[in-house]
Structure 1
C-alpha cells in the first residue's frame, strides 16, 4: 500500500521570509543605489544580447518542442521566441 502524501505547500523557511520582508519593506533613499541598479540592468541586458552571437549560447534557447508558441508567454529579448515562463 502507498503512503498518503499531502499536497499542501509547507511554510517557507525563515531565511526566505526574512528576504521577502526586507525587499518589501526597505525604502531606498540613495540616488547612487538607483544608478548602480540601473547600470547593472543595462550591463546584464547587453551581455545577454551579446551572447546571442555565440551558437553555444543560442542552442540553449527556444521551446522544448520546435515551433511551439505560447500566446501569452514571456518574450525572450533579442529572439523571436515567446515561451512558457517556467522554461
Structure 2
C-alpha cells in the first residue's frame, strides 16, 4: 500500500540557527517582533509499505542514514 510520510527536521535545542536569526531580524525590521523563531525542513515521501507502522519505521531509517544528522537534528514523522 502507498503511504505518504511527512518528516520535519529541525535543529536540536541549543544549536545555533543563523537562518532563524536572520528571519527574526528581518521580521523585526518589518514591524513584526517575535519572542522566538526556529526553522525546520519538511520532506514528504510517498513509499510502499505493508502498513503505517512499517512506513514510519522506513522513514525513521531514512532519517538515521541520510536525512538528519543525529548530533544536531531532531525529527518528527507523520504518516498521512
TM range (shorter): under 0.3
Larger strand share, 1 or 2: 2
Higher RCO (CA-CA < 8 Å; seq separation 6+): 2
User: TM-score, structure 1 length as denominator?
Assistant: 0.22
Larger helix share, 1 or 2: 1
User: TM-score, structure 2 length as denominator?
Assistant: 0.23
Larger Rg: 1
